Homo-oligomer: A and B are copies of this chain.
Amino acid sequence: MSTKGKAVPLSVPSMPDAETGAPQRRRPVRAAERWLLKKFLAAIGNPPVDLMMWDGEVIANHKRATIATLHIRDRVALYALMWDPNLRFGDYYASGRLEVEGDFQRFLEAVYRAGNATRGSGIFRDRLSRLAYRPRPNTLRGSKANIHSHYDIGNDFYKLWLDRDYMQYTCAYYPEQALTLEQAQVAKMEHVCRKLRLQPGETVVEAGCGWGGLARYMAKHHGVNVRSYNISHEQISFARARAQQEGLADRVEYVEDDYRNIEGDFDVFVSVGMLEHVGVDNYPALGEVIDRSLKDNGRGLIHSIGRNRARLMNGWIEKRIFPGAYPPTLREAMDIFEPNELSVLDVENLRMHYAKTLEEWLERYEANIDWVRETYDEAFVRAWRLYLAGSIAAFTTGSLQLFQILFARPRDNDLPWTRAHLYEK
Contact = CB atoms under 8 A, between A and B. Distances in A.
Interface of A: 113, 116, 174-175, 177, 308-310, 329-331, 334, 337-339, 341-349, 351-353, 396-398, 401, 409-413, 415, 417-420, 422-423
B308 A330 contact: no
**How often does this chain occur in the complex, in copies?**
2
A309 B339 contact: yes
**Shortest Cβ-Cβ A-B pairs, 6 listed:** A398-B410, A347-B347, A331-B334, A420-B423, A398-B411, A345-B349
Contact of A308 (B174, B309, B338, B415): B338
Contacts of A397: 411
Contacts of A401: 343-344
B308 A342 contact: yes
Given A353-B417, A411-B113, A418-B423, A308 B343 contact: yes
A348 to B, nearest CB: 6
Given A175-B417, A396-B413, 12 more contacts: A308-B338, A308-B342, A308-B343, A331-B331, A334-B334, A344-B349, A344-B401, A346-B347, A352-B413, A352-B415, A397-B411, A398-B409
A341 B309 contact: yes
Nearest to A335: B331
A77 to B, nearest CB: 30
A413 B413 CA distance: 36
Contact of A329 (B334, B349, B412, B423): B334
A116 B411 contact: yes
A331 B344 CA distance: 11
A352 B423 contact: no
Most buried by B among A113, A116, A413: A413
A339 B409 CA distance: 30
A343 B310 contact: no
A418 B308 contact: no
A338 B329 contact: yes
B423 A419 contact: yes
Contacts of A349: 343-346
Contacts of A412: 398
A117 to B, nearest CB: 9
6 contacts: A308-B337, A309-B338, A330-B334, A331-B338, A396-B413, A423-B423
A417 B308 contact: no
A55 B262 CA distance: 56
Contacts of A338: 308-310, 329, 331
A308 B410 contact: yes
Contacts of A337: 308
A346 B343 contact: no
A419 B348 contact: yes
A351 B418 CA distance: 11
A116 B343 CA distance: 14
Contacts of A308: 337-338, 341-344, 410
Nearest to A337: B308
A333 to B, nearest CB: 9
A119 to B, nearest CB: 12
Nearest to A422: B419
A86 to B, nearest CB: 19
Most buried by B among A308, A345, A409: A308
A335 B413 CA distance: 29
A98 B115 CA distance: 63
A226 to B, nearest CB: 26
Contacts of A417: 174-175, 177, 352-353
A411 B342 CA distance: 31
A192 to B, nearest CB: 14
A397 B342 CA distance: 13
A346 B330 CA distance: 11
A174 B415 CA distance: 13
Contacts of A330: 330-331, 334, 344
